[in-house]
Structure 1
Amino acid sequence: MRESLYIGIMSGTSLDGVDAALVDFNSSTPSLVQTYFLAYDKYLREQLLALNQAGYDELHRAALLSNKLSRSYADAVEGLLGKSGISSQSITAIGCHGQTVRHCPQSESAYSIQLGNAALLAELTGITVVADFRNRDIAAGGQGAPLVPAFHQVMFGRPEKHRIIVNIGGIANITSLSPKGEVIGFDCGPGNILMDAWCLQHKGSIYDHNGSWAETGCIIPGLLEALLAFSFFSLPPPKSTGREMFNSEWLKSYLHGKESPKDVQATLLRLSVEAIAQSIKFHFPEVEEIYLCGGGARNGKLVAELEAALPGKSVNLTDMLGIDADWMEAFAFAWLAKQTISKVPGNLPSVTGAQGHRILGAIYTA
């Protein structure tokens, strides 16, 4: 076994599929060795989406989906290792975030549920698995998310520059890496989640490629204003969110039903832009550099509008920092697995609100 090799697995709120990244931590600068993407089939995507809301026989359905997900994760690991030519015996551990179906961190009875049978994944792959990263932080009074800012700090923090990393996944979140203070990170609102759902409903496509459909529409000012008035946007950090808050039913409550679908899509894109831009301008007006990652970073229309909303700021992809924007979170969960195996804390109390640093995750040995 090469103790420096870890695999990170991420399947995010967008429900597009499984990202698997093979990472080498042999040097002071970790390197991305190989990547692999396994798309969810339509049935799995629909079943996962259905579990985000209360329904019939949820426990049974969740258990079955956890097993199915773990088999998909194992398939992704097999594809990743086959692509890299590296054997499973060379891997120290897999860091698997799991598929979030409920995230309710803001109540006295806070909880977060990620589906995935880590024991089965360890059995199928023959590799030690680290999973259940969020709940240790929640037990310590934190929100359990976002967790990636700790990784951003290690990889991108610089004593002479104030940088912001914006992950635009299903939910958009921000990491502020200031040389003058502690790391701040929080979810700022919807990234792709509402746009994807609206596009699927009206176009039959799981996402709006490059924002081309939104490009044909016009922003509805009254709708945008109403959406931005939602209470989450004015909450101070720490804060995190998910489909429980931003979903099709939430959007429907703001619509009268006569809007042009393409205009709604244009408005939803602008909502994501404003959620990010207003957060940056309010909390970090002095920031020098902004770097984007996640699926939304490949949406040309969204990126162009974000640049326009942040005049005078440098906006680029994290590719320029050495990590492909598409693989940031999978890379991060390989790092988080290494933290756990090394018995080193993986959370940042300044980000999640936890009472202190904690070693995250549960270990399932091969």
Structure 2
Amino acid sequence: MNGQTSGEHDLLGRHDVLDLGSLLSEAELAQRDKIREFTERRIKPQIARWFEDAYFPLELVPELGALGVLGMHLDGYGCAGASAVEYGLTAMEIEAGDSGIRTFVSVQGSLAMTAIHRWGSEAQKQRYLPLMARGELIGCFALTEPEAGSDPSAMRTTAVRTADGWRLNGAKRWIGLASVADVAVVWASVPDEGVRGFLVPTSSSGFTAEPITGKLSMRASIQCDVRFDDVELPAEAILPLAQGLRGPFSCLNEARYGIMWGSMGAARDAFEAALGYAAERRPFGSALASYQLTQAKLVDMMLELQKGQLLALHTGRLKDAGTLRPEQISVGKLNNVREALEICHQARSILGGNGITLDYSPLRHANNLESVRTYEGTDEVHTLILGQYLTGHSAFHPS
């Protein structure tokens, strides 16, 4: 026995020791294979150059639309209506290429499209969702602020009623896709009403989006500083069904679910890079893979990959059954990103000095995962969510 599965049902490349792929349906396997082929053909051959050049490949957007992955978990309005597990497998296979590309799919579908689908009017859904599903219109999701990254309850962006609609003022930071988006889902504080959501065309006077430069992570992606200076909006710009933080948090949970799968894709790619390198490299006259310390690292990586994939799959089954709870999403996001980052670091150590170049993927994945670890809830935030679940005491605002 060499620990390899021979069949097409593998989840962890050729080294799915637990044969987790056998837990997938034929439809799920077909979806996985379709996205894996796309990633191998369209993302991996170019990603090192895109990362080095800090270039987000807008040319992929209509292709991703044609693949049916934009808002794929949503029903109707041109969306695929796929299962949670199919969406998770899609996130995993795309992030095996790069976290930045998977982040686009998440911002477009799990955040912007979900906000419109769940909280918008019928007219808003009809206007935006079919175009967004096809990749003909790009959305962004503006929640995080410069002074309140992990605390949206301290939101300073405001929307006030006017004779004709709304006037929006404020600032947001780390807003993915804002400089290339056509519409922004903006969360703002409304006097006497709390947090409300608005659909803001990015062509609006007073809307500005400036890409953040000098990034060491997520370089094949776009994040922006955004300002709203007396942006005038019509009355129908508001998302009528969203009031309070429940609106944006419901979207964040969709994104967090995708992250627990996606991070395992980055980790799997790093593991496979290290495994292949260890088989070919021959220090001191023997294959690097033959040394005990190397094997220990590879085994530890495989164990955490398999556990993380099993956690994601179980969570996906709960989501498809309609029983998934927020704290269970926190388990997956906290564990899988943390372990994926460690896997990438271990993989880089096997590659030695060669591992710090873009010829190999582990350090690029690790750099990206530093951002993935931070957005949609830091480790600390998810730890406190779970701490509150276990103890009944909230430590977010201790007395």
User: As a proportion of its length, which structure holds more helix?
Assistant: 2
Largest Rg, 1 or 2: 2
Q: Which structure would you say has the larger RCO, counting Cα contacts within 8 Å and 6 or more residues apart?
A: 1
After TM superposition, the score normalised by the length of structure 1 is: 0.29
